[in-house]
């Protein structure tokens, strides 16, 4: 997986997170942070998987990062 592919997947994760936010009718002012946190989560997940980590541990790291940043 190349770096550009990781970036594209992380942007897609941000767009998907925004889609879920819109689906669940969150306030308009929270859409931008949702996109950013979704993209960061995707970047952490796919970035760690690029270095040979399994999907379970990569998802754990991404969820932990999202939780820490959302405080």
Sign (positive/negative) of CA torsion 53, 57, 63, 67? Answer: negative
pLDDT recorded at residue 19: 98
Q: What is the pTM of this model?
A: 0.91
In angstroms, the CA 22 to CA 56 distance is: 27
- Which two structure tokens, joined as six digits, stand for 50? 């690029």
Confidence at residue 32, expressed as pLDDT on a 0 to 100 scale? 97
Report how far residue 56's alpha carbon sits from residue 37's, in angstroms, rounded to the nearest whole number: 19
Domain boundaries, the chain: 3-69
Per-residue pLDDT of the chain (71 residues; tens, 9 = 90+): 689 999 999 999 999 999 999 999 999 999 999 999 999 999 999 999 999 999 999 999 999 999 999 99
- In 3D space, the residue among 64, 59, 35 whose CA is nearest the CA of residue 46 turns out to be 59
The pLDDT assigned to 52 comes to 94
């Amino acid at each position: 997986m190349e770096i550009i592919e990781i970036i594209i997947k992380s942007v897609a994760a941000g767009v998907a997170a925004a889609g879920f936010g819109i689906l669940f009718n969150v306030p308009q002012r929270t859409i931008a942070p949702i996109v950013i946190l979704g993209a960061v989560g995707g970047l952490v997940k796919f970035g760690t998987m690029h270095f040979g980590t399994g999907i379970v541990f990569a998802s754990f790291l991404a969820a932990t990062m999202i939780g820490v940043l959302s405080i």
